[in-house]
């Protein structure tokens, strides 16, 4: 899992999608780790271990493709219902990733951030995460946002509570509440909304992920499980995105 310090960035070779129509922000629901492992007679944790390799692979390819932000759904607030041993392994894997991938993130000028609730996450994991966020804060390349212990309904409730407190205290008039002011209270404040949402392993649902932010995102679902998701699959999703007519509720110019 250690980063290879000798690895060099690879130039894009004749991408099919017009670079002017690249998604600015790609969000991915990384699904299928456990099923991938069980289908091969392996414990579920081996699927998560292999999934980390996919994270590295896809992060690097997004950098090469010129994507502005990549958001990965690492752990939902509902995932705490899983077996304790699997959750402990996931936290250790996340801590290890934060430490071992720092040099790669810094070389590629990737800026790391996190969304989700910190409560319940192990102190060691948060320390490793916070250190990598701090070290990469000045990087001017792609933003890599990890959704950890994240649930969109809880995020929206938290935003509503924040607005309600300010309104009750007289700091905010109800008539001044609009979409922009509401979005500024979300975990993703200051980030662009996703243009493209990818889900692996074929599931046709959103799973409480960025419900406000993906209002006009293009959806792309693949049967490929996350551990087997490769650069060519990301390119397919980007090509499909570039070919779509995004009208945002209006009519096509044609």
Domains and CATH numbers, the chain: 20-231 (3.40.1180.10)
Report long-range pairs for 115-119 (Cβ below 8 Å, ≥24 apart): 115/71, 115/145, 115/146, 115/147, 115/148, 115/150, 115/155, 115/187, 115/188, 116/75, 116/77, 116/147, 116/148, 116/149, 116/150, 116/151, 116/187, 117/77, 117/149, 117/150, 117/154, 118/149, 119/149
Instruction: Determine the pLDDT at residue 112.
Output: 98
Q: What is the spatial distance between Cα 22 and Cα 225, in angstroms, rounded to a whole number?
A: 24
Task: Inform me whether the pLDDT recorded for 178 exceeds 60.
Answer: yes
Q: How sure is the predictor about 69, in pLDDT bands with cuts at 50, 70 and 90?
A: very high
Catalytic residue among 4, 18, 31, 208: 31
Q: Global pTM?
A: 0.89
Q: Average pLDDT for residues 39-52, to the nearest whole number?
A: 95
Q: What is the pLDDT of residues 73-93, one digit of tens each?
A: 999 999 888 889 999 999 999
Active-site entry in 4, 18, 33, 79: 79
Q: What percent of the chain has pLDDT over 90?
A: 85
Per-residue pLDDT reduced to its tens digit, 89-108: 999 999 999 999 999 999 99
Specify the pairing of strand 111-115 against strand 196-199: unpaired
Is residue 139 annotated as part of the catalytic site, yes or no?
no
Q: What percent of the chain has pLDDT over 70?
A: 89
- Condensed to tens digits (0 to 9), the pLDDT of residues 26-43 reads 999 999 999 999 999 999
Active-site annotation holds for 195: no
Could you tell me if 196 and 27 are in contact, meaning their C-beta atoms sit under 8 angstroms apart?
A: yes
């Amino acid at each position: 899992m250690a980063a290879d310090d000798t690895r060099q960035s690879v130039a894009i070779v004749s991408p099919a999608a017009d670079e002017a129509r690249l998604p600015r922000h790609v969000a991915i629901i990384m699904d299928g780790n456990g099923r991938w492992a069980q289908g091969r007679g392996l414990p579920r944790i081996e699927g998560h271990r292999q999934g980390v390799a996919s994270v590295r692979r896809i992060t690097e390819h997004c950098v090469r493709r010129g994507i502005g932000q990549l958001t990965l759904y690492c752990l939902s607030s509902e995932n705490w219902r899983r077996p304790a041993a699997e959750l402990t392994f996931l936290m250790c894997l996340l801590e290890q990733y934060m430490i071992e991938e720092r040099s790669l993130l810094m070389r590629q000028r990737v800026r790391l951030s996190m969304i989700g609730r910190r409560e319940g996450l192990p102190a060691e994991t948060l320390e490793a995460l916070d250190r990598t966020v701090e070290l990469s804060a000045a990087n001017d390349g792609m933003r890599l946002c990890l959704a950890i212990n994240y649930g969109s309904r809880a995020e929206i409730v938290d935003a509503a509570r924040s607005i309600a407190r300010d309104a009750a205290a007289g700091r905010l008039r109800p008539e001044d509440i609009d979409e922009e002011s509401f979005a500024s209270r979300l975990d993703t404040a200051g980030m662009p909304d996703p243009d493209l949402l990818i889900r692996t392993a074929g599931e046709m649902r959103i799973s409480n992920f960025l419900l406000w932010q993906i209002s006009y995102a293009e959806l792309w679902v693949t049967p490929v499980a996350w551990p087997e998701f490769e650069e060519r699959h990301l390119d397919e999703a980007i090509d499909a995105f570039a070919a779509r007519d995004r009208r945002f509720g209006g009519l096509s110019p044609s």
